[in-house]
Chains A and B, each alone.
Chain A
Amino acid sequence: MTDFDLVWKNLFRKPLRTILLTVSIFMAFLIFGILTSLNVALDRASESGSASNRLVVSNKINFTQSMPYAYINRVAAIPGVTAVTYQNWFGAYYQDQRTSRFVGFAVDPETYMAIFRDEARLTDAERQAFLTERNGVIVGKSLADRYGWKVGQTIPISSNIYSQANGRRSWDMKISGIFTGAKPTDPTTAIYFHYDYMNETITFNRDQVGTITVVTASPDQNDQVAKAIDANFANSPAETSTVDEKTFSRAFLKQAGDLNFIVTMVVSAAFAAILMIVSTTLVSAMRERTKEIGVMKTLGFSSPRVLRMVLGEAVLLSSLGAVLGLGTSAFILTGLSKSPVGSNFGDLSMSPVVALTGLALAVSLGLVTGAIPALSALRMSIIEALNRG
């Protein structure tokens, strides 16, 4: 019989107790796995599609305020700027304003596809079709899957902001292509269509652009270019604020609230609870075994060996719960990614970093919960142990 066998047998000496402890640990790691992965997905969403040499120019008052169309050429003329494109938020929805809203931007197809070639992947034929079809629209794969859209189909896209001069609130758009993201983890729940098609039909806010995307010659020039752009429009009715893409989308995501903080609090609470439950139960389990430990020591088991075995049992217990918990959360996350709510986050599946952090936590949890019983077993003299209980 090896030490491991002994540890394993000890662990299941009272099967019900062990199963209940495993359930407690399982639940803590389930919470850890799901919440941490959600948090990672959100962080990634703020970075997906942001390149280090791209800047976002928006109205300094707030990004919902627009800028004159003429700004595009003025920005393009600033030294260090190699390409520009622009986009207008459309407040897009399909059929039902409440349940089927999604990201929709009016863009300039040629410059947009040149800059976001990787973020919105299309075939050459689709790209060509989008350039030539004036009412063309490219839609993200997840959206197309959700509504069963096919290339070539014409769909009515409505806006909760704009209406047409003829009173209609929806625009007929022909699907030129269905795009996929650079990585499978990137969310593809947006649509892009021709700025011109929108601009000539809307009743207000004509010849205005929402944000301008700028590509700089290299990331080292970002600061300098951003300053030059903002200086160019200083003291004008529409002053600008230029930041890199990552900063822009992070700030936007943070508006909902500090999710990082909430996740940390909840995961800590779950682990604190489990730590209390497991360590006190293990202490009482070891107390039952005091006599046995005395016998083992009498038989010549060294104190360090007893210590290792007690710690091993605790680590084994927490790892068992952790592996099951992490596995189940990975399974749930995969399912969540496919749901309409989850698909907005892109790929939710558990990253190796989260899984490894979880395992490291499991080992630490085992060591911490096993520490008290292990130390008392280490210190216990044979006489004392055999006399007790």
Chain B
Amino acid sequence: MSLLNQTGSVIAMNVRSIPQRLWMSLATVGSIALVVAVLLGFLALANGFNQTLKGSGAPDVAIALRDGSAAELNSTISREQIDLLGQGPGVRAGPDGRPLISAELVLIVDGIKKSTATKANMPLRGIGPNGLLVRPQAKISQGRMFTPGSNEIVVGAGLLREFSGFELGKTLRFGAQTWKVVGVFEAPGTVFESELWADAPVIQSLFKRGSTFQTARVGLTSPAAMPAFVKYVKDEQRLQLKAQSEQTYFADQAERSGLLIKYFGWPLGIIMAIGALAGALNTMYASVSSRAAEIATLRVIGFSGFSAFVGTMVEALVLSALGALVGVAICAMGFNGLSASTLGAGFTQVAFRLQVGPDIITQAVTLALTIGLIGGIFPGLRASRQRPLLALAA
């Protein structure tokens, strides 16, 4: 009998004998499934948040902030600066023939987070007609757009999902002013969906902002025009602003939120994995000792130690693969697409959906198979080294 044949039949024997140790094997599968589910849950949380931030930025839109401001909230920009920005190289012309610049204001208003029933920071963004042109993803899905010059608000679908207080048709009071929610907009997979939008000049006057704005989004002719425009803003002494591509701006924020995985998800996943590994080792040692007589018999009739090793190894891998499968299934069905929200870099809430993608599934499955591999090696070695006669004598 060739080594290959030997190994094949031992593997088959091992796997078929799993039902004899049904409960311990199930416990191994279950504990590995839980490890995978916990790790994948955290990774899906981080992944969903990062994808939302990354999906928000366009490569051909520059965002200009006051030099030194890390967030839109802390920035100020004057009308004159906006005009200067329009004279930069590579600025696209809008439908009216003028530079495509969306001068915007952001301020924070209170909403109620549904999951905790506590107050949370909602961004109220003042935009002009160009606001929609630099965000082609955004579409009104219910009601209508606000009318320029009126106290009307449109609300993002993501915000509506996670927070209460801004339902369509609702009248709101900010200070002495009343506002009406007239529409809902969708911009799937972007942070904008977590915002409230209103007419910029109305916000300037009702919130006493004079004629100042906070940020400007500048549409460029192509992503290739970005470096020249960024350099223009940097060198123009009268501006004192910093421009960067919207894509970079959000990618930067996504990078910082990677901390969630670093400090929480992976350490937890690994600690749980070690716990599950100890369980897997026990199961596999039990498998080896319950088959002691069988292994010894095989050795006596000429089977190699190697086949005993591989048989045990494959059994462990099969159990861990089953565990991984169950864990991934739990996450894909239970967590994927689940809505959540957290405080973003702009000091306002970002609503996002958990995303279980191929990348993170690969990571979690790798962890599960590592448990199987290590959980199989040592018991496998014991099986291969077992002295045939001693085992039969027992």
Contacts and interface: CB of A to CB of B under 8 A. Distances in A.
Interface of A: 16-17, 20-21, 23-28, 30-31, 60-62, 64-65, 91, 97-98, 160-161, 163, 169, 204, 235-239, 241, 250-251, 254-258, 261, 265-266, 269-270, 272-274, 276-277, 279-281, 283-284, 341
A64 B279 contact: no
Contact of A273 (B76, B109, B279): B279
A276 B26 contact: yes
Given A24-B275, A255-B113, A284-B23, A266 B120 contact: no
B392 interface: no
Interface stretch (B31-39, B89-97, B126-134, B355-363): B31-39
A330 B119 CA distance: 34
Contacts of B282: 17, 20-21, 277, 281
6 contacts: A21-B282, A60-B110, A98-B70, A258-B115, A274-B279, A280-B26
B30 A255 contact: no
A223 to B, nearest CB: 18
Given A27-B275, A273-B30, A284-B23, A254 B116 contact: yes
Contacts of B34: 269-270, 272-273
B70 A269 contact: no
B68 to A, nearest CB: 6
A236 B35 CA distance: 55
A16 B275 CA distance: 15
A64 B340 contact: no
Nearest to A272: B34
A371 B70 CA distance: 58
Given A31-B268, A97-B70, A277-B27, A23 B278 contact: yes
Nearest to B31: A273
B339 to A, nearest CB: 12
A61 B175 contact: yes
Secondary structure call for the A interface? helix
Interface residues of B, number: 57
Contacts of B272: 27, 31, 269-270, 273
B189 to A, nearest CB: 20
Contacts of A236: 175-176
A27 to B, nearest CB: 3
B31 A277 contact: yes
Nearest to B279: A277
B275 A23 contact: yes
A17 B23 contact: no
Contacts of A25: 275
B381 to A, nearest CB: 13
Contacts of A20: 278-279, 281-282, 285
Contact of B274 (A27, A241, A284): A27
Q: Which 3 pairs, one residue from A and one from B, show the smallest C-beta to C-beta distance?
A: A27-B275, A277-B279, A273-B31
Contacts of B275: 23-28, 270, 273-274, 277
A250 B30 CA distance: 37
A16 B116 CA distance: 46
Interface in B193-212: 208
B285 A235 contact: no
B364 to A, nearest CB: 13
A61 B116 contact: no
A251 B121 CA distance: 10
B175 A238 contact: yes
Interface string B173-191: 1111000000000000000
Contacts of A280: 23-24, 26-27
B28 interface: yes
B343 interface: yes
A276 B176 contact: no
Which among B35, B71, B173, B278 has the highest number of chain A CB atoms within 10 Å? B278
Contacts of A16: 285
Interface in B9-40: 21, 23-24, 26-28, 30-31, 34-35, 37-38
Nearest to B265: A266
A24 B68 contact: no
B69 interface: yes
Nearest to B21: A284
Contacts of A169: 68
Contacts of A276: 26-27, 30-31, 279
A145 to B, nearest CB: 22
